[in-house]
């Protein structure tokens, strides 16, 4: 074999090595998205388990607020259904409904001093608020993982390997417009 053959063989080897590196990086990104989604699911499951306890404690004090309690439980079911399907877009919408329901529940609870003084209620409110904050943090990490994956599979030469091995984009877990708009403070006091 002459020198030109060795050069061609070397170039082929470098291209093959580079392709393997790209493939492995794409696999890492795909699994980072899956891991971040799993982290969200753990927190959603914990919150799913805590909400009936909160509603039951509230039900003991809030006999006239049945609709508020039922709304929270319906929203809880919608979040769980979207999570079970793995439907990121529906999950974002269902999360909005649950957040509104919880906000209403906590606001209505303010009118019940005995409920606010109940140790179980305070513990559950703190636990659920903590879970909400953790979910928001995990959503941010999930969206960052999705963004890194989606950018890489669109960049050359990664897009060639991504296309060959069918690496696809993931959906972002997006917030509704309602959640990102400014709050009308005057409306809260009317």
Residue 99 has pLDDT above 50, yes or no: yes
pLDDT at 183 over 50: no
Give residue-wise pLDDT tens across range 70-82. 888 999 999 999 9
Contact 104, 71 (CB under 8 A): yes
DSSP letters for 156-171? TTHHHHHHHTT-----
Q: Report whether pLDDT(63) > 60.
A: yes
Q: In the prediction, which pLDDT does 190 show?
A: 38
Which of the listed ranges 26-40, 85-99, 117-131, 164-178 does the model predict with the highest average pLDDT?
A: 26-40
- In this predicted structure, what is the pLDDT of residue 93? 87
Q: Which residue has the higher pLDDT, 84 or 183?
A: 84
Its domain, for residue 103, covers: 3-188
| Residue 133 half-sphere exposure toward CB, CA atoms < 13 A | 5
Q: What local confidence, expressed as pLDDT, does residue 67 receive?
A: 83
**CATH number of the domain within which 177 lies:** 1.20.1440.20
The count of other CB atoms within 10 Å of the CB of residue 87 is 14
Closest CA to 165 of 29, 32, 35: 29
Task: Provide the number of structural domains found in the chain.
Answer: 1
Give the list of residues 6+ apart from residue 98 with CB closer than 8 angstroms, or none: 72, 75, 76, 78, 79
User: Tens digits of per-residue pLDDT, 11-56?
Assistant: 999 999 999 999 999 999 999 999 999 999 999 999 999 999 998 8
């Amino acid at each position: 074999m002459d020198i030109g053959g060795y050069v061609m063989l070397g170039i082929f080897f470098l291209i093959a090595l580079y392709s393997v590196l790209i493939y492995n990086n794409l696999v890492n990104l795909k699994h980072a998205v899956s891991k971040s989604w799993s982290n969200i699911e753990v927190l959603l499951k914990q919150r799913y388990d805590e909400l009936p306890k909160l509603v039951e404690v509230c039900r003991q004090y809030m006999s006239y607020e049945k609709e508020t309690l039922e709304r929270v439980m319906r929203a809880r079911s919608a979040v769980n259904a979207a999570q079970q399907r793995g439907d990121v877009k529906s999950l974002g919408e269902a999360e909005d409904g649950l957040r509104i329901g919880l906000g209403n529940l906590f606001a209505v609870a303010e009118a019940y001093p005995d409920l606010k003084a109940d140790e179980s209620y305070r513990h559950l409110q703190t636990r659920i608020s903590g879970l909400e904050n953790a979910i928001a943090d995990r959503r941010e990490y999930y969206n960052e993982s999705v963004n890194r994956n989606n950018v890489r599979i669109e960049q050359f030469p990664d897009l060639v390997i991504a296309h060959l091995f069918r690496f696809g984009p993931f959906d972002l877990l997006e917030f509704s417009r309602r959640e990102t708009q400014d709050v009308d403070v005057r409306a809260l006091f009317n």
